[in-house]
Homo-oligomer: A and B are copies of this chain.
């Protein structure tokens, strides 16, 4: 029993995904447990610890067989320990989560922001395998991102490296959108932003569109009908891709990553989205970085557990 094991955990607002990795980083098993966010999430860590112990027992493993646990969380993380209060977890956080979880499990723990974990996962086993630097963009309901330099996550001084959703794209934007400043990238590039743009567009014109058949227009439906050539849907996805391409070109000016990876639920729009973003990127990028590789993420929902495990294997640490 010389093999050493690692757990990778991706703690989300509804469920937590857990993965058990063998010594060479092979994913041996993965499973989910529900996230209990009642009482400010006081059961979150005990529930996770119980699940970890259960799986150790089932495999007749002890704590000393485990190198450690990487724990991805939906919030800002400082020094791989302290997690800022997480909106999606009912305000859970504001303490040394890694330390507390380590005491519960009896093994060492490192905490990591979930977008950062997904980025590390893609870098290790996914779309950016072999790259030294990358910019990972997670387009879901909101917009998250992560910067990797020299194979390490850049947390940022305030734990805010990768807050690209807050880049102001249009100072003249008159409409407010969610929490954050007007005209920020997330207002245009996110599932919620796209749906909002669709509502405004459909209201403002009489032009027919297949999107009018739905009570609820979703990002997925917009991309589906854009692929079918629906004029208004195309207009929406083109604006989406153009804003994102312009922002990515700006990112290349700031830190010139080797590869840019598009992940998150909206990236399921696939090559249609990728091609449009690449086209817009080229339009706005300086010559030196015009050919930066832009790819779709490949690990899907498993990116987070891979990345959390990788952090634990990595001996190194995140950069600031």
| A→B interface (CB under 8 Å) | 76, 132-133, 147, 149-150, 154-168, 171, 180-181, 184, 246, 249-258, 284-286, 288-289, 292, 319-320
Is chain A's binding surface mostly helix, strand, loop or mixed?
A: loop
Q: State whether A149 touches B320 (Cβ < 8 A).
A: yes
Bound: A160/B253 CA distance, A: 7
* B residues less than 8 Å from A255 (CB atoms): 147, 154, 156, 161, 254-255
Oligomeric state, in copies: 2
Query: A168 touches which one: B161, B246, B319 (CB < 8 A)?
Result: B246
Q: When the two chains form their complex, are residues A158 and B256 in contact, meaning their CB atoms are under 8 A apart?
A: yes
A-B residue pairs, 8 tightest by C-beta: A156-B256, A166-B286, A157-B258, A160-B288, A161-B256, A160-B256, A150-B319, A167-B250
Closest residue of chain B to A286 (Cβ to Cβ) is: B166
Bound-complex Cα distance A259 to B147 (A): 18
Chain B residue, CB-CB nearest to A157:
B258
> Are A168 and B250 in contact, CB atoms less than 8 angstroms apart?
yes
C-alpha spacing A320/B149, complex, angstroms: 6
A149→B246 contact, CB < 8 A: no
